[in-house]
Amino acid sequence: MRAIRRLLLAAFAAIPLLAACDDYPTAWKTPNMTALTPRLQPLFEKTKPVCFGRFMVDVPATATVVWGRTSAPLNITVYPSGLDEVKALAQQFIDELRNEKAIYLDDIPLLIAVDDVREPDGKIVTGYDGFEAIAGLKINGYFNLNNDGVVINARTLKPRRELATALVNGMARRMRQRAETEIPSEPGNCIEYAFVADDPDPEKVPRAELVRIGFRLQEFPDAHLSIEIYPSNPHDPESGSLQRQWKRIREDPATPEERKVLAATAFFREGARRIQEWKTGYEVLMRSPDEEGSLSHHDFQLKFYGVPHDPFQPVIKVRFETGVGDNAAGATRASLSDEEAIAVWDRITGTLRIRPTTAAPASGAPGAAAPRVALGELAATGRTCPQAGWWEPTAGSGAASGPRRHIAAGERMPPVLAPGEPSLWQKFRGERPTHRTAAVWRLVDYGDAPGPAPAHEG
C-alpha cells in the first residue's frame, strides 16, 4: 500500500494517546468562508438540504446522493418497487436455514420460525446464527412498504429473542416512504428512500445509530465528499480523536517512506473546528504529493469524537477527496485548485446541523397550542399527518377519485386511487379499473373540523 494511503488510514484509526493542548487559532475553530471563484459560483447558486439520520447538510442542487450502510438501530435496506425482490430474499433465507443443520442440536435445521405479520404486511424469519446453534440468533424481517420492499436484520442472543423481534416489528411499523427532497419534521432517522420515526415511548432511548452517506459533484466528478455517523465510545470518547491520531503520525512516522511523504505533503489548515454546538471537532486539510501509482490530490478530514449516549452528538466523520476515479483517490488529476477545494469544503461542512423537529406541547400547559404547519406542506403516504386539515394529492399522484380529504393530525397519510389499464372486457363494458398507490399530499386548508370541502381557489 502506498505511504500516503497508510497515513490516511491511520488518521482515522482509534489510537489512544495523550491529548494535545488546544493551542490553535480561533479562526481555525470557526473558519471564515473562503470566497468562491467565478467557476464555483454557479455550483452554489442553488443548493438542496439532504436529511441523513437525525442531521442535515446543504449540498449543490446538482450533487448526486449516494447512500451506504444504515442502522437505526437495526440494519435497514429499502428496495424501491421491490416487493417481488424482497419476497424472493425471504424465501432464499428460509431455504438456507432449512437446508443447514445444527451440529450440536441433533442436526435439526437452523430454521426456528416463520411468522406472518399484518402491520405492515410481511414476515419475520428466525433462525440460529451458525451451524453450532449455541446462543446466537438471526432475525430478519421482510415487509411491504406500499410498493417498496424492506428488509430489517437483527442479530441477538436466545434470551433476547422476543425483544429483538419486537424491535424489528416496531421499526417496520414506524417506517414510511420518503422522497429524497423531503425533510421530516418529526423525531427519527432519515434513511435512503424512507424515514423511521422514533418510538413514541419516551422510556425507549434511541440505541446505536449508524449512517453513511456520500455526495458526488456533477460539475467536478472527481470530487467526492462522504459523511459517517456512529455512537461515541462510552469508555473513552477521545480515543477516536483525530487530533491524537495526527499527533502520533507527525511525531512517529512508521517508516522512512512515510516520513518522506509527510515532508512533501501540503497542509493548508489543521486544528480544532466547531460547527453549531459540536465542539469536539478537529480537521486536517492537505494535499498529497505525486507518488508512484497515485497523482497529487486533496484529502480533507473532519472528525467530532462525540458525547457518549447522546444520539444528537455522535461521532461524525467527514472526508473530502479530489482526483477520484474508480473509487480511488489519486487515480486522476484533481479538477479543483487548492483554493477551490477549500471553498467547497467550507461551504458544505459549515451547513452540517441537527434536523429541527416539532414536538407536542406539554400536557396541561396553560394556553399551549402546537404551531400550525404552513399551507403547502407536503406529506407522503405512510407518514404521520403533521397538521389537521384538508389535503389533496399533488399533480403527479394520479388520483382517480376523492382528490381532497380531511385528515387529522397523527393519522397516517393514506394512499390514493389511481386509474389502471382496463382489460379488453372492461373496455367493452366501459369500466375503468383503479388501484391503491402511494401519493404525496399537499395541505391546502386548515379546516379545523370535517365538513364540506372548501372551494378550490384557482
Q: Are 379 and 385 in contact (CB under 8 A)?
A: yes
CA angle 48/391/367 to nearest 5° reads 90
* Predicted pLDDT at 237: 81
Round the CA-based radius of gyration of the chain to a whole number and report it: 26
Task: Answer whether residue 427 shows pLDDT above 70.
Answer: no
The pLDDT tens digits for 15-69 are 332 223 333 344 344 455 678 889 999 999 999 999 999 999 999 999 999 999 8
The pLDDT tens digits for 61-78 are 999 999 998 998 999 999
Residue reference for cell 399551507: 375
CA distance linking residue 451 with residue 406, whole number of Å: 8
Residues sharing a CB contact under 8 Å with residue 125, sequence separation 6 or more, in sequence order: 90, 93, 94, 97, 111, 113, 114, 115, 139, 140, 141, 142
Cell of 172: 417496520
Specify the CATH superfamily of domain 3-68+205-354: Mog1/PsbP, alpha/beta/alpha sandwich (3.40.1000.10)
Task: Answer whether residue 113 shows pLDDT above 60.
Answer: yes
Q: Are 109 and 100 in contact (CB under 8 A)?
A: yes
Q: Where do the structural domains in the chain lie, given as residue ranges?
A: 3-68+205-354, 74-173, 378-445
**pLDDT tier, 248 (very low <50, low <70, confident <90, very high otherwise):** confident
The pLDDT tens digits for 255-293 are 777 778 788 889 999 999 988 778 889 999 999 988 888
Residues sharing a CB contact under 8 Å with residue 350, sequence separation 6 or more, in sequence order: 33, 275
Could you tell me the pTM of the whole model? 0.71
